[in-house]
Amino acid sequence: MNIQEYITAHKDRFVDELFDLLKKPSISADSNYKDAVLETAKIVKKRLEEAGCETVEICETPGHPIVYGSIIKDPKLPTILVYGHYDVQPADPIELWDAPPFEPVIKKTALHPEGAIFARGASDDKGQMYMHVKALEFMTKNDTLPCNVKFMIEGEEEIGSPSLEWFVKRNQEKLKNDVILISDTGMIANDQPSVTTGLRGLSYVEVEVTGPNRDLHSGLYGGAVANPINILAKMIASLQDENNHITIPGFYDTVIDLSDQERKAMAAAPFSLENYKKALDITAVYGESDYTTNERRSIRPTLDVNGIWGGYTGEGAKTVIPSQAFAKISMRLVPNQTPDEITALFQKHFETLAPQGVKVKVTTHHGGFPYVTPITGVGYKAAEKAYEKTFGKKPIPQRSGGSIPIVALFENELKSKSILMGFGLNSDAIHSPNEHFGLFNYFKGIETIPYFYSYYTELMKA
């Protein structure tokens, strides 16, 4: 039986099993869901065993557990390490979901005439992670697994993988591999596959501006003391100039610019600005001067406010000057910016922006290094052949704007490259209400992965 026939024969079960995973609210950020996270890990373990893994264990960490499984056919054969995550983002704002986030349903959409699975985690990353489990099942049941395989599925990706470094450092030997395979990104379109060759890094800070020692009457004091919200708004606004260039001194010093040739190659990838605007209901795009939308969202660093609060936000009007104002700010980084350097530059600059009369505090959250991989390696070539086989088209290499901080750590600690074979679409609404994953994408992923295994093993022998 070939993989297409296998999928056709087991389609419904593949969907039902994914539904079981999607029904668990494995929200890693919220400690109220700790039990659901553990139950999800247990399901992943059971499914890996059923798919033919020889050893499967739930590995305790200081945080949520990591599920590890393996099949070692012959130590002389190449070893693929599959990485994915079973945790998900919080579902709020829940009222904007058309159906409850943890009660998966299939609905047709314009981009998915054959249907898409709607649920939190459908695309990021339960659906994409589970494609690998089903691909493995096919290979073991049909005795076509050509190499060794290890699975490492974590439960903390959405909170910055705080325990994974701990785990990787303690398990170097166990995790030894020739290549890491990850489906946690997207592709251009269902008729145009792409392989993700880069990820942005991340620096994430929280800022606090404190003015007077208590909230004040805005009539009695207004105009005479610094209002922390007014000040914070000014400080944030000054972080970008009229060209939407970031004004933090030294911010761009280490950025590697792309050559004209590389930019040209990027511009050749199919992209419709009209459709992009239409999908977001915006009349114009916005960003750094002299760069295209595709460049702005992948090869350029950014600075964005993720949340801002303070003062009175309840019903009606309350005349008050707040004592404090707060914001969460993220910066997406590109090679060769490092999170520590950029965070330090931000902190130093932000503190100097504060006028007299307020105190500023900057605290740092998790960060991550950017990543790029060349298209000359065996891993990329194997992926290219696999897509060509199942899509009838060569994939386009594409750098993504998102971050998977652990990928750079894998390179440093395990000395291996990651191949990012993502089957999601940008329109999947990951992290948003109504997240979904196309059935086409789910099955196409399951179909493509076994070819990666065989081409990779072949090319490694050559």
The footprint of Mn ion (CB under 5 A) covers: 124-125, 184
What is the per-residue binding string for ligand BES in 187-206, x denoting contact by CB under 6 A? ------------x--x----
Q: Which is nearer to ligand BES, 194 or 292 (CB)?
A: 194
Minimum Å gap between C-beta 433 and Mn ion is 14
**Among residues 104, 405, 445, 450, the one that binds ligand BES under rule CB under 6 A:** 405
Q: Of 8-16, 26-34, 260-268, 402-410, which segment contacts ligand BES by CB under 6 A?
A: 402-410
Choose the contact partner of 402 out of ligand BES, Mn ion, none; CB within 5 to 8 A by kind. ligand BES
Q: Which is nearer to ligand BES, 85 or 455 (CB)?
A: 85
Contacting residues for 45 by C-beta, under 8 A, at least 6 apart: 56, 57, 58, 67, 69
Verify binding: residue 156, ligand BES, rule CB under 6 A.
no
Q: Which is nearer to ligand BES, 186 or 379 (CB)?
A: 186
Closest residue to ligand BES, judged by C-beta, is 402
318 contacts 312 by C-beta, under 8 angstroms: yes
Verify binding: residue 404, ligand BES, rule CB under 6 A.
yes
Minimum Å gap between C-beta 124 and Mn ion is 4
Q: Which is nearer to ligand BES, 150 or 332 (CB)?
A: 332
C-alpha closest to that of 420 among 84, 22, 155: 84
Pairing assessment for the beta strands 371-372 and 66-71 based on DSSP bridges: unpaired
Q: Of 25-33, 153-161, 210-218, 229-237, which segment contacts ligand BES by CB under 6 A?
A: 153-161
Choose the contact partner of 84 out of ligand BES, Mn ion, none; CB within 5 to 8 A by kind. none
Give, to the nearest 10 degrees, the angle between helix 127-141 and helix 3-22: 140
Give the C-alpha separation, 327 to 220, whole Å: 27
Verify binding: residue 158, ligand BES, rule CB under 6 A.
yes
Give the C-alpha separation, 200 to 210, whole Å: 32
Q: Which is nearer to ligand BES, 17 or 428 (CB)?
A: 428
C-alpha closest to that of 52 among 149, 119, 118, 125: 149
Verify binding: residue 154, ligand BES, rule CB under 6 A.
no
Q: Which residue has the tokens 């290549």?
A: 179
Q: Which is nearer to ligand BES, 198 or 322 (CB)?
A: 198
**Which tokens in the block code for residue 307?**
């949340």
Give the C-alpha separation, 75 to 390, whole Å: 29
Neighbours of 29 (CB within 10 A): 13
**Which tokens in the block code for residue 54?**
């020889």
Verify binding: residue 184, ligand BES, rule CB under 6 A.
yes
Q: Which is nearer to Mn ion, 195 or 378 (CB)?
A: 195
Strands (E), 104-200: 105-107, 116-118, 148-154, 179-182, 194-199
**Which tokens in the block code for residue 353?**
């922006």
Minimum Å gap between C-beta 304 and ligand BES is 11
Give the distance, in angstroms, between the CA of residue 29 and the centroid of all CA atoms in the same chain: 15
Interacting residues with ligand BES between 117 and 136 (CB under 6 A): 124-125
Minimum Å gap between C-beta 460 and ligand BES is 27
Q: Of 113-121, 178-186, 278-286, 435-443, which segment contacts ligand BES by CB under 6 A?
A: 178-186
Verify binding: residue 70, ligand BES, rule CB under 6 A.
no
Give the C-alpha separation, 410 to 420, whole Å: 13
Verify binding: residue 298, ligand BES, rule CB under 6 A.
no
Torsion sign, CA atoms 318, 237, 29, 100: positive
Q: How far is CA 94 from CA 51, 102, 192, 436, in A?
A: 34, 10, 33, 15
Q: How many CA atoms lie within 13 A of 286 on its CB side?
A: 7
Choose the contact partner of 80 out of Mn ion, ligand BES, none; CB within 5 to 8 A by kind. none
Interacting residues with ligand BES (CB under 6 A)? 124-125, 157-158, 160, 184-186, 199, 202, 366, 368, 400, 402-405
